[in-house]
Chain A
Amino acid sequence: MEWLNPIVQGTLLGGLYALFAAGLSLIFGVMRLVNIAHGDLIVLAAYLGLTVTTATGMHPMAALVIVVPAMALIGYALQRGLLNQTLGDDILPPLLVTFGVSVIIQNGLLEVYTADPQTLNAGALETASVAVGGVTLGILPLLTFGIAIAVIWGLQWTFYHTSLGRAFRAVSDNQDIAQLMGLNRRHIFGLAMALALGVTAVAGILLGIRTSFDPSIGGGRLIFGFEAVIIGGLGNLWGTLIGGVILGVAQTIGAKIDPGWQVLAGHIAFLVILAVRPNGLFPRVSG
């Protein structure tokens, strides 16, 4: 029983990490781009949520109605205006350009919002809980986990049951032939980034309700998302959810042993899985 609680809490935390990772996984799947600025974009979404809630007095969850389209728009513009120019055989340009974007976002946020930690006020949702079989479950973590499942299911459905998903898979398989078939890959990439940042917006708002945030935490969120992707196996969205859960459980168990070990335990779990199963637990595409 003593260990059941951290395992359950860690599983729910894994939902948030899966949301961090889903956008990363989607972009890599469609255009083989690894976005170093992903973590900073999550933090940007949290700050957009902050601005919307303080300006309008909306509940953070309701602010999603504004923040998700806003982030999607930013994603499309970022992809069409900047990142499309970096795609090619060389891995250096996308890596260094997204690294530059990361530094710009981070310092831009510092400039606008200062370094003070902020949090999104979600009222009763933050503390509400239910007791299930001796374990107390927070409503917010439960909701986060449910949203993660819904988002991943939605992405899977988009990928395999819509014409947009067909376009994503086509450019992913062979960009040139997809182009010959009348798909504009630049537009498709833009849409993929828009979808990815829409998911990122959800992740950012949930992060902002759960914990306090400041402009410097983006790198850490990128790493958590990245670890979930690698643990689960590249290109497998349900694998990413399991990867997030493994990471979350490792962290809560680490924290139970010693509070200073929380994040470290997650990294160590990641490195162990990398050593034992280099392609992750459920690989679908090769890197």
Chain B
Amino acid sequence: MNLQDCSVSRSSKAARVAAILAAVGLLVLIAAPWWAGRADMRLMGELFLYLSLATLWNLMAGYAGLVSVGQQAYVGFGGYMLFALTMLGGLNPLVAIAAAGALGALISIPVAVLIFRLRGAYFAIGTWVIAEVFRLSFAQISALGGGSGSSLPVAIVKSLASGRAMREALSYWLALGAAVLVVTAVYFFLRSRQGLALTAIRDNELAAGSLGIDIWRTKFIVYVVTSAFTAMIGALIFLQKLRISPDAAFSVNDWTAFVIFIVVIGGIGTIEGPIIGTLVFFALRETLADLGTTYLIVLGVVAIVVMLKAPKGIWGVIRSRYDLQLFPLGYRVKHTGQSKEN
């Protein structure tokens, strides 16, 4: 076997086919306001926002080793910033969503400096403390309704678009756009130099450090960027809900437990995992939601079983069996000569 017989490439046939299918699928999804009913559009909008949250949590936990159980801090913060900036600051909701992201990044800096002192599982509980501090603090702000929360005034809702159908379509497109933005941003981030450093840290922190990677700084960047995006998603979530309260905004079940289950079931540490996990999660929810609390117990059991029996999740099982990678991150060596095996 000569060296000339080999070529190194990042892409693969499966990835190219997937990219084409994804582009077609995206066009179909963009056109949803013309073919889907209102309930379906709401559900899909929610699905896209969960997909975004799961992708972001996966970037932190699956790649940067920052297992947080306190991402509800930024979901709630973003939601409250939307309400504060539109109701008290008079901003247009769309501008407020972007501003919520910027403010989320800003507030995550001192938070990171503080809780990065905690390691591993203690870091996880530390993030939860931060989320509780946010919840209790926002409950003290009477201008935003205090403990009982407030609704978005009709005038602000109407400033998005006057007609109801247009408003719903816009809300749907924002959610879809957010999901596409988050998944592509994470994909290109992981392909970049920083992403390579991150993958190295994930695989072996000690070795990565000895190769000159600034571990603290890399994790810090991931935390701040994730927080900014999570705050924007939070603003979008509460733009859909039109009502916010401290308990709903900073709910550990809604914004962290579900997200963790999605990532674990789909496959942690892969881009495909959260996408599959979100689809499975919504399929389960739509079929089992009538069971109420039993549904959550089932979800917990499924997550535990997956974690113990197939720690790489559904996508991990698929990948190990078929050697597939739809979002090509690594490089592969291919034989271009006669031999077909590789």
Q: Please report A residues at the B interface, Cβ cutoff 8 Å.
A: 33-34, 36, 82, 85-86, 91-97, 99-101, 103-104, 107-108, 110-111, 219-220, 222-223, 226-227, 230, 260-261, 263-264, 267-268, 270-271, 274-275, 278, 287
Contacts and interface: CB of A to CB of B under 8 A. Distances in A.
B296 interface: yes
Nearest to A108: B297
Interface of B, secondary structure class, is: helix
Given A260-B140, A278-B117, A287-B118, A222 B125 contact: yes
Given A110-B293, A230-B122, A274-B117, A92 B308 contact: no
14 contacts: A34-B120, A34-B124, A82-B308, A86-B308, A92-B268, A97-B308, A99-B260, A108-B297, A219-B128, A219-B252, A220-B132, A260-B140, A264-B136, A271-B129
A96 B303 contact: yes
A150 to B, nearest CB: 27
B307 A97 contact: yes
Ordered nearest first, which 5 A-B pairs have the shortest CB separation? A34-B121, A278-B117, A103-B300, A107-B293, A100-B304
B257 interface: yes
**How would you classify the secondary structure of chain A's contact residues: helix, strand, loop or mixed?**
helix
B241 to A, nearest CB: 21
Given A92-B61, A219-B252, A100 B303 contact: yes
A254 to B, nearest CB: 10
Contacts of B129: 223, 226-227, 267, 270-271
Contacts of A223: 125, 128-129, 132
Contact of A91 (B121, B126, B264, B301): B121
B253 to A, nearest CB: 8
Contacts of B132: 220, 223, 263, 267
Nearest to A227: B129
Contact of A99 (B69, B119, B294): B69
A263 B253 CA distance: 20
B304 A95 contact: no
B137 interface: yes
A100 B119 contact: no
A95 B300 contact: no
A100 B124 contact: no
B308 A264 contact: no
Contacts of A104: 297, 300-301, 304
B333 to A, nearest CB: 29
A95 B121 contact: yes
Nearest to A38: B125
A171 B313 CA distance: 31
Nearest to A225: B125
Contacts of A97: 304, 307-308
B299 A103 contact: yes
Contacts of A271: 114, 129, 133
Contact of B308 (A93, A95, A263, A275): A93
A287 B119 CA distance: 7
B103 interface: no
B64 to A, nearest CB: 12
B67 A91 contact: yes
A153 B297 CA distance: 38
Nearest to A33: B121
A107 B297 contact: yes
A91 B205 CA distance: 13
Contacts of B87: none
A263 B250 CA distance: 16
